[in-house]
Amino acid sequence: MSTATVSRVINGHGNVTHATRTRILRVVERMRYVPDSAARSLSTGLTNTIGVLLPDLYGEYFSEIIRGIDQAARRRGLHLLLSGVHGSAAEAVLAIRALKGRVDGLLIMSPYADSAFLADHFADDTPAVLMNSPVRGNSHSSFCLDNRGGARAMVRHLAQVGHRRIAFIAGPQNNFDATERLAGYCEAIAEFGPDLKEFVLPGDFSEESGYRAAQRLLTLDERPEAVFAANDMTALGCLHALNEARVAVPGDVALAGFDDIPLARFVSPPLTTVRVPMAELGARALDGIAAAVGAPAATPTSTQTVATTLVIRASCGASAQLRAVDELTVSGSDAAGN
């Protein structure tokens, strides 16, 4: 048997007698022959692998993205080459370079890697799709969470419940999610005209920063009626400080977060927040890059948005009727500890 015939059998290209096919398959089985992917990649130019670049691999947020990507990839028979890029833009360039010949396409989430950046550094033919990244330049498709819409919805909800002085604890300044959430907050405040006023405190997504922001709020003459934190961990830090100061939530101050981390429904009071479907974002982004790999030219670049959902629990002071009934809460005597 020649290598050509074996190759045809293995790849199911026709023109092989049934007899020889079975004979070859039997030998393949007996020898435990497995074709070498590297050689196959070299000759076909296909790797059936998607490179995934994330700024970090830690925590619920990325774990969920990876899960979504993995499920979608498995559905398509694609492999995943995973890489965390913690450092600078230079490191990102190196990381992407190192993937040349290893992957058919790239799924990128990084503060540095906007479309213009990619176009600058890679005359490459490797298609790429961005996740949750600023869109500058239009040579790449991108999928983003609707952070802005979610933040707007939250502010509208807080206003509807009756709160007027709504403060916002921001996230890190160079973080895309954080700036979008801030923008959404500002837009919604503006919608209400002179009735509502912006009030933004600095933060960095950490529990610690929420704690400090709350302490600062408590020193103000005119306390806000509601505090909207850029993410749940910040909101929890905030809650901790308010509990320590014996300020009732939501009695004295309403509180809201963003992300709907598992902790959110466990604290007391359960936290009103915005759910971000990270797994869906990952899955849709992978579908996007798979499509681009399949038909490089035919795929127009686009920016798609993944919807977020308002999750109303007790911490915002909405009446009980408004709140979902299926949320599990753990009754606790006092504050959640640190």
Partner DNA sequence: CCCCCCGCTGAAACCGATTACACTGTGGGT
Partner DNA sequence: ACCCACAGTGTAATCGGTTTCAGCGGGGGG
| HSE (side-chain half, CA atoms, 13 Å) at 306 | 22
Place of tokens 């915002």: 316
- Per CB under 7 A, 26 contacts DNA: no
Q: Using N-to-C axis directions, what is the helix angle for 147-161 and 176-191, rounded to 10°? A: 40
Q: How many CB atoms lie within 10 A of CB 78?
A: 21
To the nearest 10 degrees (0 to 180), the angle between helices 232-244 and 207-218 is 40
7 binds DNA, rule: CB under 7 A: yes
Nearer to DNA (CB atom), residue 101 or residue 202: 101
Residue 325 contact, options its own copies, DNA, none, Cβ 5-8 Å cut-off depending on partner type: none
Residue 49 Cβ vs DNA, minimum distance, rounded to whole Å? 15
Closest CA to 308 of 267, 276, 266: 276
CB nearer its own copies, residue 48 or residue 138: 48
The rounded distance, in Å, linking the Cα atoms of 261 and 259 is 6
Q: Which is nearer to DNA, 11 or 139 (CB)?
A: 11
Q: How far is the CB of 126 from its own copies (least distance, A)?
A: 10
Of 31, 39, 320, 324, the one binding DNA by CB under 7 A:
39
Q: How many residues bind its own copies (CB under 8 A)?
A: 61
| One-letter amino acid for residue 282 of the chain | G
The phi, psi pair for 166, rounded to 5°, reads -110, 115
Interface with its own copies by CB under 8 A: which residues? Answer: 32, 34-42, 47, 49, 57-60, 62-64, 66-67, 70, 74, 79-84, 97-102, 122-123, 236, 239-240, 243-244, 262-263, 265-270, 314, 328, 330-338
Interface with DNA by CB under 7 A: which residues? Answer: 1-8, 10-11, 13-17, 19-20, 33-36, 39-40, 42-45, 101
